Amino acid sequence: MNAYLDIDHVSITFPTDKGPLNVLSDVNLKVQQGEFISLIGHSGCGKSTVLNIVAGLLQASQGGVVLEGREVTDPGPDRAVVFQNHSLMPWLSVYDNVRLAVDQVFKKTKSRRERDEWTRHNLDLVHMSHALERKPDEVSGGMKQRVGIARALSMEPKVLLMDEPFGALDSLTRTHMQDSLMEIHARLNNTVIMITHDVDEAVLLSDRIVMMTNGPSASIGEILEVNLQRPRDRLALAENPTYNHYRAEVVKFLHERHQNPDKSLEDAADESAVEVPSNVYSLPAQMVSGKKSYPRHLEKSELSLGFIPLTDCAPLVVAREKNLFAKYGLSVELSRESSWANIRDKVCTGILDGAQMLAAMPLASALDDRHCQPMVTGMCLDLNGNAITVSKELYGRMLATGVDGLDTAQGSAQALRQVIEQDRAANRQKPAFATVFPESSHNYLLRYWMADAGIDPDADVRLMVVPPQQVAHYLRAGMIAGYCVGEPWNTHAVCEGLGRTLITSHDIWNNHPEKVFAVTRMWAESNPNTHVAVVMALLEACAWLDEPGNRHQACEMLSSGRYVNAPVDVLEKSLTGTLLFSSGEQPRAAPDYNVFHRNAANFPWRSHAIWFLSQMMRWGQAGENIEPDVIARAVYKPDVFRFAAGALGYSAPETDYKQEGLHKSGWSLKSGERTLAMGADLFMDGHRFDAADVKKYLAGFSITRTTGSAGDSGDFEEAI
């Protein structure tokens, strides 16, 4: 069978000051009519160059492109391009932006009335009929991109070329746009070639995924056939083993293509095993000498850092918006990601240099380096910040139990236990609860809260993993009864009348660590000065955030469509120290809901790392015979923090460990000649945690599950 579109042995070389640079080498791909093809690979692998050659914007040095038997030599309306930037004319209305393209292509073949109907038809395809007269500045980023797609479709292209079309959108809008694109593709059966960096997006949308090798001289490494029945339901696919197999294959390819200038990935992984003593981790020369100066020489100055649209991504946003990264010679692009799995995979494979991460994620990488490079963290980004929210129906049933103290951690857990016992007696389905990732404070504190009341989280409820920005939708759809998530997604559910917030994570463990900044061990060792510069910028951002007068400005930054994309008043509910527990109540004071700098919040305590490892042991994610202190020393790097803090004149603890659960209010920690103000650290049940004796600590709990092995994820339904 002849190909509808034939990319025939394409190579392209560009002249440079240093001589010819071969960008693509012998790219050969045959595409059938109606196929949806995704191109994926590391930055610099030539994906956009392939797209531009197909579009006729570039000419191949060798080989060529043939569409329906005719060679492509220049741009044409039969190949419409949708870029990441919508490129709309700001002075034209939504209707006129699309009509402009329609008139250019069909002025000689369609009447004025037909062109009007065709314009409206294509805007209806992307659900923009309600905004025909609005200007681009009057609609959201997602709507702008819909108009860009409508404009491309209106030209009736034989091939729709899309260069990361949803990369600049928030994750919720991106989800809607993916669904719209699937709907359009099913209706029109058009041929699509799309560039993406999102593994989940590629598997969800594609018939085939073309995985590119690293440049220069990039070529096609592998082509993965995605044999999933259409139409595709993202919720059903989340539990589909075939879908997860495809996803794993793409991640594996990207992981294997991550290059180190001096050694292979396999060698680097071997040398980065957990058993390597922590002092093997190389530090900048200034650190070794004890000199407290900011590292002027940066090994890498242009960085891409990932984040999830949550209130506590604020340190990264502030560091960029207040030019703190630039202050230390860094040019940083922030990449909004749709899930914590995406964050992990993109850092592991080198697509991202580093990212905001859940505090336990780097530890999980050390437990199981078969699927991810070992990671390290040199700073914590914040304390607290999560809450447990339940549906209005479940809250009503909990209220009906008559249990006292429903607004306390222990009282609410006891009420939930009675509801579960009622359901068990009536042979009803177990309630489902969502957390954002298996290795997260959300998971461990939700389990801690339940287990305190005698609820076995692996037997009495169903636990589900859902990205933060999706939990309210699951609650609305009745797929879950409650969840533990960060802001603004608790307040969002309350404001929408979907549920009620029971307690905060601070009520379960006062001032628990939440997010960290993490990079791979290989990256940290290759870029030690750059690592310190990033930490310094983030430290300054965290200190700025903990000045109460700056929180409103921070909310305005976060509300932007490129970051959290939530109303300022919703963000302010938590970020300014008040939290809305119910739509019918006044907000409650929660001054420690988000702690970004005070109470030594940014120090990467190895005792915190060991607590997380103890929970992995308790719930079967790690074997009983792991050595928590060895892992903590390999992953949590307080020396990086101390150097960065010292260069800024900030104080840092002299010890790497502290006991938890001793203080019900503020206390003081001696650090050399200085005294550090610390916060409360009580657990809801009064337990004390000593990192020196994890087994004794775990023996004090009646509900545990210690039969797992390193790398297990526990009993979770993978929802996304």
Name residue 109's amino acid: T
| pLDDT computed for residue 493 by the predictor | 93
| pLDDT computed for residue 271 by the predictor | 34
Helices (H), 559-626: 568-575, 606-618
Q: How far apart are the first and last CA of the chain?
A: 37
5: β partners? 31, 67
Which H or E run contains 707? none
| pLDDT computed for residue 198 by the predictor | 85
Q: pLDDT digits over 326-380, tens only?
A: 999 999 999 999 889 889 988 988 889 999 999 999 999 888 766 678 999 999 9
| pLDDT computed for residue 195 by the predictor | 93
| pLDDT computed for residue 145 by the predictor | 83
C-alpha distance from residue 478 to each of 139, 391, 401, 586, 663 (Å): 30, 8, 21, 26, 40
C-alpha distance from residue 716 to each of 239, 243, 619 (Å): 10, 16, 12
pLDDT grade, residue 44 (50/70/90)?
Answer: confident
Q: Answer whether residue 282 shows pLDDT above 60.
A: no
Tokens of 136: 């681009």
C-alpha distance from residue 472 to each of 48, 417, 478 (Å): 36, 23, 10
The answer to whether 440 and 693 have CB atoms below 8 angstroms apart is: no
12: β partners? 24
Q: pLDDT digits over 617-654, tens only?
A: 999 999 888 999 999 999 999 999 999 999 999 999 99
Question: If you average pLDDT over every residue of the chain, what do you get?
Answer: 88
Q: Which residue has the higher pLDDT, 442 or 291?
A: 442
Tokens of 696: 């004794």
**Residues 6 or more apart whose Cβ sits within 8 Å of residue 146:** 126, 127, 128, 177, 180
Which H or E run contains 307? strand 302-307
Length of the chain: 720
What's the CA angle centered on 459, arms 458 and 462, to 5 degrees? Answer: 70
The answer to whether 370 and 711 have CB atoms below 8 angstroms apart is: yes
| pLDDT computed for residue 90 by the predictor | 84
Sketch out the chain's domains with CATH numbers.
5-240 (3.40.50.300), 386-511+705-718 (3.40.190.10)
Residue 76, φ and ψ in degrees, nearest 5: -165, 160
| pLDDT computed for residue 215 by the predictor | 80
Radius of gyration for the chain, computed over Cα atoms and rounded to the nearest angstrom: 26
As a 3-state breakdown, the chain gives helix, strand, coil percent values, each rounded to 5, of: 40, 20, 40
Q: What average pLDDT does the segment 138-165 reach? A: 86
SS3 462: strand
| pLDDT computed for residue 189 by the predictor | 87
Place of tokens 């209806």: 124
State the DSSP code for 431: P
Tokens of 295: 């590292």
Q: Are strands 70-71 and 79-82 parallel, antiparallel or unpaired?
A: unpaired
Q: pLDDT digits over 415-463, tens only?
A: 999 999 999 999 999 999 999 999 999 999 999 999 999 999 999 999 9
| pLDDT computed for residue 35 by the predictor | 95
Quick one: what percent of the chain has pLDDT higher than 90? 63
| pLDDT computed for residue 706 by the predictor | 57
C-alpha distance from residue 559 to each of 321, 410, 498, 535, 572 (Å): 13, 34, 21, 24, 10
pLDDT grade, residue 269 (50/70/90)?
Answer: very low
pLDDT grade, residue 84 (50/70/90)?
Answer: low
SS3 704: coil
What's the CA angle centered on 150, arms 144 and 155, to 5 degrees? Answer: 140
**Residues 6 or more apart whose Cβ sits within 8 Å of residue 606:** 629, 632, 633, 636, 638, 656, 657, 691
- Residues 483, 503: Cα–Cα separation, whole Å: 11
The answer to whether 275 and 629 have CB atoms below 8 angstroms apart is: no
Tokens of 199: 């593994």
Q: pLDDT digits over 541-550, tens only?
A: 999 999 989 9
pLDDT grade, residue 99 (50/70/90)?
Answer: very high
Q: pLDDT digits over 535-568, tens only?
A: 999 999 999 999 989 999 999 999 998 999 999 9
pLDDT grade, residue 516 (50/70/90)?
Answer: very high
Q: Answer whether residue 274 shows pLDDT above 50.
A: no
pLDDT grade, residue 169 (50/70/90)?
Answer: low
Half-sphere exposure of 330 (CA within 13 A, CB side): 30
Q: Are strands 79-82 and 674-678 parallel, antiparallel or unpaired?
A: unpaired
Name residue 42's amino acid: H
> Poorest-confidence range of 89-93, 497-501, 578-582?
89-93
Name residue 69's amino acid: G
Q: Answer whether residue 143 shows pLDDT above 60.
A: yes
CA nearest to 119, candidates 156, 158, 150, 93:
150
Q: What average pLDDT does the segment 454-476 reach? A: 93
29: β partners? 7
Q: Answer whether residue 709 shows pLDDT above 50.
A: no
| pLDDT computed for residue 264 by the predictor | 31
Q: pLDDT digits over 231-252, tens only?
A: 898 878 877 888 888 988 888 8
pLDDT grade, residue 39 (50/70/90)?
Answer: very high
Helices (H), 502-586: 505-508, 521-526, 528-545, 551-558, 568-575
Name residue 617's amino acid: M
Rounded to two decimals, the pTM is: 0.66
Q: Answer whether residue 303 shows pLDDT above 50.
A: yes
| pLDDT computed for residue 254 by the predictor | 82
Q: Answer whether residue 256 shows pLDDT above 70.
A: yes
| pLDDT computed for residue 370 by the predictor | 61
> Poorest-confidence range of 269-283, 285-299, 689-703?
269-283
